[in-house]
Structure 1
């Protein structure tokens, strides 16, 4: 099915929300880095999920959205809340103790590649095409360049490797979540706003179980840390999901997914400009390969192939030439 022409109309409100998504989600890695100056990774993940659930819960009340009655559907959302929220948020926060916020944002951009691998190899929802295979290989080569294993030696090398692996683990969690949602949730009649709320709220419920470990760790709050946690939770984990839904409904999934190309640029730029993070040659080179791999895996850079002329009857056949 093709997207409606009107869905791509570049009205100012939708464009602003799309750019806001890229800015806030890209800046979330900066906010995590700042918050870690006075909190633990578990506290960062706990706080952002609680605040995000409260923000989306308020939207649910205002819009009078309904919750699903199926016990099986609630079970699916608990799984999604852990896999798509609690686990990756904690992994990224932990990783940023050992890697820069810019590096973490680029690893986050590998999510589409992880999604391709999950839906084709693990869940077997789709089959890999030749372009997707090339895209995955190019993207993984970008990850190798980004990690720069040739420079990881001496003190701190093990921690940095662990941090990068944690980032990849978080991206894999996102990929598994998209595949899980597609297989068990999408198409079951759950509204988009409800889906967003339940994903965050169930993630918050999972984190509630870890509250004894959260409250026992010391906390040192400053205005910058509090502000980072509030923006990260209310905006980045809450309200932006509403923007995402609006853009998705107006533009469709293909155009909306291009936000993937904005977030790492924002993340790296803020890391350099605000936090003074140093940028080596391998980081933009690796990021470029990752984005190229995503473009190939998503079929945005298909090679033109010479097509032999077909008989007139074949050309006129319904559906030919539309792939």
Structure 2
């Protein structure tokens, strides 16, 4: 159990620290170059583990169109949007907004999946989360002098989280029924995303990342090896040990880590930011409670039938 708790905490820390690494790199190279290097260094440990586990099979090529769509949207675009938004925002704010995919997954699930209906508590939780996003974005203050919140940056972060959240619907409908090992799926996904980014990214000046040791190490080790590659491995370890809901709970740690790092490097973290985090944190927790209630209500008739027999 100690290994499980350690993996859970590490996953939250890796996710939450991604934003400061993107922020450091954004002063030297473009968001597309950040995304390219992130996927490259993240793909390396995944490919090594997949080779060791013999997870990649020739027959999986027939599902290449599914892997390619996930690579284009959930990886290449989402990572680019996160890097683009983080370049325009304080890393702490980007980290809080980046923890919102569960909200958009819940909305999309309720609209697109018949078996994933939202109850009243889940509707309230989504509204609460949206209030937290609005509070930390402060659109009413966008025209004021010296305002630190760039709404273009907010839009980029949210577009990345929305696409990432919607990707779970696609996985649920089209990829999960294929019964392919998760390690194989993410290896294909990251490998194809690297090729896509390599094809469209202007590499001019990418070597400038080496001008700053902490930015280069942060990008390669923090964002790539740990924040992407190792995070996928930790997530699927927790998925096997705890199940999907508990594994995804590491998202709770993300905004706390991002805010703490932002505060440590001198970014403003005031009562408003903390209150917004509390709203988003609370909304995600309420979502899980709402899902559990639906699960219990659906299981109750089955249990009743068994006891009557």
Normalising by structure 1, we get a TM-score of: 0.85
Quote how far apart the aligned CAs of 1:318 are.
2.7
Residue in structure 2 matched with residue 261 of structure 1 by the alignment:
252
Farther-moved stretch of structure 1 (279-288 vs 240-249)? 279-288
Query: Using the alignment, how far apart are the partners of 1:143 and 1:296 within structure 2?
Result: 16
1:248-291 CA distance string (max 9 Å, x none):
10111121121011011001101111x21001322111111112
Kindly indicate whether the alpha-carbon contact (under 8 Å) linking 1:131 and 1:302 is maintained by their aligned counterparts in 2. no
Q: What pairs with 1:290-309 in structure 2 (closer than 5 Å)?
A: 290-299=280-289
Query: Using the alignment, how far apart are the partners of 1:121 and 1:270 within structure 2?
Result: 36
The alignment covers a number of residue pairs equal to: 298
Quote how far apart the aligned CAs of 1:31 are.
0.9
RMSD: 2.4
Q: Which has the higher helix share?
A: 2
Unaligned runs of 5+ in 2: 294-300
Pick aligned residue for 1:177 from 164, 167, 178:
167
Residue in structure 2 matched with residue 317 of structure 1 by the alignment:
304
Larger radius of gyration: 1
Kindly indicate whether the alpha-carbon contact (under 8 Å) linking 1:148 and 1:282 is maintained by their aligned counterparts in 2. no
Pick aligned residue for 1:151 from 138, 141, 144:
141
Residue in structure 2 matched with residue 3 of structure 1 by the alignment:
none
Kindly indicate whether the alpha-carbon contact (under 8 Å) linking 1:50 and 1:233 is maintained by their aligned counterparts in 2. yes
Query: Using the alignment, how far apart are the partners of 1:143 and 1:159 within structure 2?
Result: 12
Matched, 1:165 2:170: no
Q: Secondary structure at the match of 1:209?
A: helix
Unaligned runs of 5+ in 1: 1-10, 304-313
Query: Using the alignment, how far apart are the partners of 2:78 and 2:38 within structure 1?
Result: 12
Residue in structure 2 matched with residue 215 of structure 1 by the alignment:
204
Matched, 1:90 2:80: yes
Q: What pairs with 1:1-323 in structure 2 (closer than 5 Å)?
A: 11-67=1-57, 69-71=59-61, 73-122=63-112, 126-154=116-144, 160-211=150-201, 213-215=202-204, 219-221=208-210, 222-231=212-221, 232-273=223-264, 275-299=265-289, 317-318=304-305
Farther-moved stretch of structure 1 (70-79 vs 223-232)? 70-79
Query: Using the alignment, how far apart are the partners of 2:51 and 2:191 within structure 1?
Result: 14
Farther-moved stretch of structure 1 (101-110 vs 200-209)? 200-209
Structure 1 outlier segments of 4+, above 6 Å: none
Normalising by structure 2, we get a TM-score of: 0.89
Task: Name the CA shift for 1:193/1:217 in 2 (closer, same or farther; >3 Å).
Answer: closer
Task: Name the CA shift for 1:192/1:301 in 2 (closer, same or farther; >3 Å).
Answer: closer
Q: Secondary structure at the match of 2:143?
A: coil
